[in-house]
């Protein structure tokens, strides 16, 4: 599972996710209201906050499909050896 | 290309093009495909259109459009027949568009995202003789097409390619400037679909008049992120032909690679709407100080916040940000040239050359400068009305004193002494408070200018209810009102400010003012 910080960053971009509802790795971000402008802004926020840089190959809508995939992508940049 | 032209040479070239165009003036008697044929005659081997899979020169595009014309003829499509297409914005669609124009047929391009419920109504209204869709959609669309033939693009394109290999030409069709070229369905808030009738001559006039202001030229690469089913995308096809420029069709690509694609394609002109501009700025912040050839952004759709325009200018040094204003009913009302931006930062520009736009009162009398009224438009770019909707047509398109049509835009605003337009809001957004006429739009745009405010909605005053503003963001309600008082004249500052987690929206994505009103009642004892 992801850390609190990740969830805190993500939630403001998911207007259809009620505060009391859990964010799961399988949650489809588009269904929760992540639009294309939100995706671009989320990318910038994640990069700034985690001090990472998404590779060009990761700049696809697939990367932002679910919370789990996005978390794995961030993790793989934070801990390149582990992946 | 052997080296880039200097900035000075480019500016000089731009002035030459604009000057030449102004001398000639926009034509009213030309057909849509004349634009393509003229570009082809002048620059046959210049790039015409590029999509995700390749590029055509003007010669290739013209040949494909003739093959599309011949294919349509073979399908029995003739003068005035509607051809409905629900297709992604690719080179094939551009060829079909010009092919239909040559045939004298009427292209009806609909958005690929249009739902069956809406599409069924469009089919019923347009009464097409033929429908072309992507292969996987054929069965679904055939089920709602009421017996109209539905073909997949795969097979259609094979046939057109074969015809092109033979250098096929149709038997010709007598197409005149009054003939209809396109029906543009607008995404109105009403349930029934509504299409603006677009004849050849008026489309070409609008295109050439716009290009007198924008000055597209042969070394331009125009990056179009919008679908051809939207008139903003549709006219990019015509504008690039008028300018002998290259069109890059980038609709359907991931927005995460927007900036990279703008750079890779060598784009020099990027049409934007505010949300697209915000994305470009956000992406540019990740990769500052990289080379780009962009010389001009052109905005429409909604007011571009100053911060976004500044963001574009700093991310793309030397690029102009041109403000435009319009609606499909006349394609474009006005353009604010870069040279006027400092003197008139709040204007949406001057009427297109050869057209008029001014402001009238409820009785249709022209109002003097600075008085607020409805913006009306006259000229050869005003379309003849809505398709099969006489009542709506009569309301918006009224007889002008000079015998032409006067388009009532439903937009409110004023003009200044020089005839430049200032937009204040839609008819529905206007209200009076403390004797002053104002719009929800202007108060909302002042609110979103405040740091910490992500979005804002204004509720006009009513019986027992004061003027109120609702905002999403990290800000105290009192600070919100205080900041608004620094940005608006006193009568326009709301009495009530509320911070909400999320602004309620209607199914059409507009502010749900009924919900907002309930929110206000719920918190007032």
Choose among B109, B53, B115, B111: nearest CA to B83: B109
Per-residue pLDDT, averaged over A40-60, amounts to 91
Cα–Cα distance between B87 and B90 in angstroms, integer?
A: 8
Those residues whose C-beta lies under 8 Å from the C-beta of residue B256, and which sit 6 or more positions away, are A39, A40, A43, A59, A60, A61, A64, B283
Q: Which domains does chain B have, with CATH numbers?
A: 15-253 (3.40.50.12780), 326-426 (2.30.38.10), 440-523 (3.30.300.30)
Residues of chain B with C-beta less than 8 angstroms from the C-beta of A47? 286
Whole-model pTM: value is: 0.84
Please report, in angstroms and rounded to a whole number, the separation of the first and last CA atoms in chain B: 71
Considering just the CA atoms, what is the radius of gyration of chain B in Å?
A: 24
With 0-12 / 13-18 / 19 or more C-beta atoms within 10 angstroms meaning exposed / middle / buried, residue B53 is exposed
CA distance A43 to chain B (A): 9
Residues of chain A with C-beta less than 8 angstroms from the C-beta of B279? 36-37, 40
* Assigned CATH class of A4-14+25-78: mainly alpha
CA distance B493 to chain A (A): 28
Chain B residues interacting with chain A (CB cutoff of 8 angstroms)? 254-258, 260, 275, 278-279, 282-283, 285-286, 501-502
Contact call for B279 and A56, based on CB within 8 A:
no
Contact call for A19 and B286, based on CB within 8 A:
no
Choose among B302, B443, B273, B422: nearest CA to B358: B422
Name the token pair of B14.
Answer: 């731009």
**CB–CB of B347/B416 below 8 Å?**
yes
Cα–Cα distance between B9 and B399 in angstroms, integer?
A: 46
B436 conformational bin, left if phi > 0, alpha if psi -120 to 50, beta if neither: beta
Reduced to 3 states (helix: H, G, I; strand: E, B; else coil), residue B82 is strand
Q: Following DSSP, what letter does each residue of B129-156 receive, concatenated?
A: SEEEE-GGGHHHHHHHSTT--EEEHHHH
pLDDT of residue B1: 39
Looking at the partner chain, which of B256, B260, B286 has a beta carbon nearest the beta carbon of A39?
Answer: B256
Name the token pair of A67.
Answer: 């919370």
Please report, in angstroms and rounded to a whole number, the separation of the first and last CA atoms in chain A: 16
Q: What is the side-by-side order of every strand in the sheet holding B453-459?
A: B453-459, B468-473, B496-499
Print pLDDT tens along chain B (525 aa): 344 444 444 444 455 555 555 557 899 999 999 999 999 999 999 999 999 999 999 999 999 999 999 999 999 999 999 999 999 999 999 999 999 999 999 999 999 988 787 899 999 999 999 999 999 999 999 999 999 999 999 999 999 999 999 999 998 889 999 999 999 998 644 457 889 999 999 999 999 999 999 999 999 999 999 999 999 999 999 999 999 999 999 987 788 989 989 999 999 999 999 889 989 998 998 887 677 899 999 999 888 888 889 999 999 999 999 999 999 999 999 999 999 999 999 999 999 999 999 999 989 999 999 999 999 999 999 999 999 999 999 999 999 988 899 999 999 999 999 999 999 887 778 787 877 778 888 899 889 889 889 889 999 988 778 899 999 888 889 899 999 988 888 888 998 999 988 888 776 667 888 888 888 875 443
Q: Which helix (H) or strand (E) holds B306?
A: helix B306-315
Residues of chain A with C-beta less than 8 angstroms from the C-beta of B286? 43-44, 47, 53
Looking at the partner chain, which of B256, B260, B502 has a beta carbon nearest the beta carbon of A40?
Answer: B256
CA angle B55, B61, B66 (to 5 degrees): 150
**CB–CB of B205/B131 below 8 Å?**
no
Residues of chain B with C-beta less than 8 angstroms from the C-beta of A73? none
Q: Following DSSP, what letter does each residue of B188-252 receive, concatenated?
A: -SSSS-EEEEEEHHHHHHHHHHHHHHH---TT-EEEE-S-TTSHHHHHHHHHHHHHT-EEEE-TT
Residues of chain A with C-beta less than 8 angstroms from the C-beta of B254? 59-61
Contact call for A59 and B282, based on CB within 8 A:
no
Residues of chain A with C-beta less than 8 angstroms from the C-beta of B255? 36-37, 39-40
């Amino acid at each position: 599972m992801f850390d609190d910080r990740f969830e805190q960053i993500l939630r403001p971009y998911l207007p259809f996710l009620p505060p009391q509802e859990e964010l799961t790795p399988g949650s489809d971000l588009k269904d929760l209201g992540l639009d294309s402008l939100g995706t671009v802004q989320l990318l910038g926020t994640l990069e700034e906050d985690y001090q990472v840089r998404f590779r060009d190959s990761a700049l696809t809508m697939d990367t932002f499909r679910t919370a789990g995939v996005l978390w794995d992508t961030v993790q793989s940049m934070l801990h390149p050896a582990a992946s | 290309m052997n080296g880039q032209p200097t900035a000075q040479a480019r500016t000089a070239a731009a002035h030459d093009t604009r000057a030449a165009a102004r001398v000639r003036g926009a034509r009213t008697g030309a057909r849509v495909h004349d634009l393509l044929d003229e570009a082809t005659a002048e620059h046959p081997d210049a790039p015409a259109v590029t999509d995700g899979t390749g590029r055509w020169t003007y010669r290739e595009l013209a040949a494909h459009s003739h093959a599309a014309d011949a294919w349509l003829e073979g399908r029995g499509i003739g003068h005035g027949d509607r051809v409905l297409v629900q297709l992604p914005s690719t080179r094939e669609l551009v060829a079909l568009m010009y092919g239909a124009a040559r045939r004298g047929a009427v292209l009806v391009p609909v958005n690929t995202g249009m739902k069956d419920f809406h599409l069924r109504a469009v089919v019923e209204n347009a009464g097409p003789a033929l429908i072309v869709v992507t292969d996987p959609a054929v069965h679904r669309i055939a089920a709602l097409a009421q017996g109209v033939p539905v073909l997949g693009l795969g097979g259609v394109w094979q046939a057109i390619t074969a015809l092109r290999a033979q250098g096929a030409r149709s038997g010709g069709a007598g197409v005149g400037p009054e003939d209809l070229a396109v029906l543009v369905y607008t995404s109105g808030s009403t349930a029934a679909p509504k299409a603006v009738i677009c004849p050849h001559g008026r489309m070409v006039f609008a295109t050439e008049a716009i290009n007198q202001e924008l000055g597209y030229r042969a070394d331009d690469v125009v990056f179009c992120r919008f679908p051809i089913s939207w008139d903003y995308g549709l006219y990019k096809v015509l504008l690039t032909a008028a300018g002998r420029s290259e069109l890059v069709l980038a609709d359907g690509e991931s927005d995460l690679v927007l900036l990279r694609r703008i750079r890779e394609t060598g784009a020099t002109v990027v049409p934007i709407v505010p949300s697209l501009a915000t994305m470009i700025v956000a992406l540019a912040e990740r990769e500052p100080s990289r080379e780009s050839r962009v010389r001009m952004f052109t905005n429409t759709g909604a007011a571009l916040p100053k911060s976004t325009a500044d963001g574009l200018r700093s991310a793309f040094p030397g690029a102009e940000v041109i403000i435009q204003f319009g609606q499909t009913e006349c394609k474009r009302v006005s353009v604010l040239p870069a040279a006027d931006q400092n003197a008139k930062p709040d204007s949406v520009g001057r009427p297109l050359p050869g057209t008029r736009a001014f402001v009238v009162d409820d009785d249709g009398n022209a109002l003097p400068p600075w008085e607020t009224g409805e913006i009306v438009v006259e000229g050869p770019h005003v379309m003849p009305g809505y398709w099969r909707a006489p009542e709506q047509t009569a309301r918006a398109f009224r007889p002008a004193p000079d015998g032409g049509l006067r388009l009532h835009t439903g937009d409110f605003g004023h003009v200044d002494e020089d005839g430049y337009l200032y937009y204040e809001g839609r008819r529905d957004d206007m209200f009076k408070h403390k004797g002053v006429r104002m719009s929800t739009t202007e108060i909302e745009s002042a609110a979103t200018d405040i740091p910490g405010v992500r979005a804002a909605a204004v509720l006009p005053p009513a019986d027992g209810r004061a003027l109120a503003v609702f905002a999403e963001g990290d800000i105290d309600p009192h600070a919100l009102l205080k900041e608004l008082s620094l940005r608006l004249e006193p009568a326009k500052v709301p009495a009530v400010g509320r911070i909400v987690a999320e602004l309620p929206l209607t199914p059409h994505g507009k502010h749900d003012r009924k919900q907002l009103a309930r929110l206000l009642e719920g918190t007032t004892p």
